Chains A and B, each alone.
Chain A
Amino acid sequence: MPAIETHDLTKYYDTLCAVDHLTLSVNNEIFALLGPNGSGKTTTVLMLTTLLRPTEGSARVCGHDVAAEGEAVRKTLSYVPQDMAVDIKLTGRENVRFFADLYGVPHAGDRVDEVLSVMELSDRADDLIRTYSGGMRRRLELAQALVHEPRVLFLDEPTIGLDVAARKKIWEHIRALKKKGMTIFVTTHYMDEADQFCDRVGIISKGRIAALGTPAELKARLMKDVITATVEGMFSPPDVEGVAFVGRSGDEVSFTAENGREALPLLADVLGKAGVAVRSLSLREPTLDDVFLQAVGQQEEPHGFEDGKFRIMLRRRK
């Protein structure tokens, strides 16, 4: 039984379709939903966490239907929304204890100590949150979410607004949780983080999944490696298997290759034999950004700003 399963999950806000027949299956992995703003990421999470009723279709979390068995679903999951909401007048320990009590966790005191130490907050546990940094507040929210040992963790933009070190730390914690068997569903628009830390990504655009797979698969499927060479003097396109000549501009010539790392020495060899003076060679692997742009298209706003739709979205997302 997959931890999260959706079938034709759909949400309309009046006439605006925010999520359009989404079918997904996620299990013991770090799954990232990537997409531009307003693509339906948060709406999807809100439906999966029972905060929003789907218009059509169904979703199950740990086998429980989100529309019919709300309480059973909420027992298995934890949700950390995008806006950091921790009580700044309470201490770290009080904030976590509050959630432990709401979940009815047995031996709450010990459990609170445990999650605080997992999140490396033990030494600051009795300080007011007022004095915590952004990264610490986010880790505290993770501690709150973990206190009842959920099977599924939903994180909406977990690293938004954090500095590089804090981001890395959050992701390390998320990875450790996955190793313990937890299913983690994150939304983000940081491509590099999804590429580096997530097992599988789904790129969502206008409420539909535009691409789905591991970051490596997606990059391999959609893009070839790009090789750029700086040459001097005479040059004629060489014939190397698996390498295609793209074009020349000034001293720079570029190629695409199925496998850039293997093609690079071959290409250097052939060019050398042909008597071309090669000054430098560089290889750029496609990033998830390239995949994203190819899947979603350029993110312009061709229709201009639609005030009405924007208002509907704002109202519903609060």
Chain B
Amino acid sequence: MNGIITYMKRDFTKWFRGRVAVVSSLVMPAAWLIFVGLALPVKFTGNYLDFITPGILVMTMLSAGLSGGALLMFDKILGFLNKFLALPTPRSSILVGKILFITGRGLIQATIILVIALLIGATLLSPVQYGLTYLVLFLFGVLISTFATTIALYLDDHDSYNAFNSMISMPLFFTSSALMPYSVMPAWLATIAHLNPLSYAIDAVRDVTAGGFPALPILVLLGLTGAVLAICSRVFRKVTV
């Protein structure tokens, strides 16, 4: 437990000191929120900003997770991992600490995006609704950061990982329910969107904002997260001993 916190503290300190990275990661989701959320003339809803905000929150977690995936790979390439592995601290805390850091960083970014959304006219929710929203975002964050970390460890090369990252981030976002409801999608897109893990997170957050409790999406996210975590710890063990 101590090890996990210490590893997270290292990553957070490094992140806060790289001021450019802290700000630049927020520009993209904020731009979507403002330039698309406020400007797109849509007919299926009265307040498009309220509709798109869950999508942008999940998108923020997605890009935080994908960019964070490279962190453990870099620790490995730069020789930090070997030093950490020679410590008596449980080796699993290296992995858990990293996943929690990436997720925590995503949640901080999502909070800022949420504040911006409120400032430009999104509807204020109740504390319970925010609690549930954060639960969903946390689960999704763990899922995506574990997935990204696994892929990066497996590829073991940052050029390949960058290529992978830019290859999947946009398609994942556009084939989800982030920008429009299933009812207005063409049938083929709706089919893909129903399979996209992003949609589960986005639908869950929308469900929460509409006053419901998204039991099914949360279960699906839990199941997916468990499976990816199991694969990830296998890959991690394989690259470490």
Interface residues of A (CB under 8 A from B): 46, 49-53, 71, 74-75, 77-85, 87, 89-90, 94, 98-99, 101-104, 144, 154, 318
Contact = CB atoms under 8 A, between A and B. Distances in A.
Interface string B63-104: 000000000000011111011111111000000000000000
Contacts of B3: 102
A49 B87 CA distance: 9
Interface of B: 2-3, 6-7, 9-10, 13-14, 17-18, 76-80, 82-89, 156, 240-241
Given A51-B241, A80-B83, 9 more contacts: A51-B82, A53-B241, A79-B82, A85-B80, A87-B80, A90-B10, A90-B13, A104-B89, A154-B86
A124 to B, nearest CB: 18
A81 B82 contact: yes
Nearest to B239: A318
5 smallest A-B Cβ distances: which pairs? A83-B79, A85-B79, A79-B86, A74-B88, A101-B6
12 contacts: A77-B86, A79-B82, A81-B79, A81-B83, A83-B78, A85-B78, A87-B14, A89-B14, A89-B17, A98-B9, A102-B84, A318-B156
Contacts of B78: 83, 85
Contacts of B9: 98, 101
B88 A50 contact: no
A74 B86 contact: yes
A84 B10 CA distance: 17
Contacts of A50: 85-86, 241
Contacts of B17: 89-90
B169 to A, nearest CB: 26
Nearest to A154: B86
Contact of A89 (B13, B77, B241): B13
Nearest to B77: A318
Given A51-B241, A71-B88, A104-B2, A90 B80 contact: no
B14 A102 contact: no
Contacts of B88: 71, 74-75, 103
A89 B83 CA distance: 18
Contacts of A104: 2, 89
A164 B17 CA distance: 34
A75 B90 CA distance: 11
Contact of A103 (B80, B82, B89, B241): B89
A103 B14 contact: no
Nearest to B240: A51
A75 B88 CA distance: 5
Contacts of A53: 241
Contacts of A80: 83
Of B13, B76, B85, B86, chain A has the most CB atoms within 10 Å of the CB of B86
A98 B82 contact: no
A98 to B, nearest CB: 5
B220 to A, nearest CB: 36
Nearest to A53: B241
B54 to A, nearest CB: 34
A101 B2 contact: yes
Contacts of A51: 82, 85-86, 240-241
Contacts of A85: 78-80, 82-83
Given A52-B241, A87-B14, A90-B13, A102 B79 contact: no
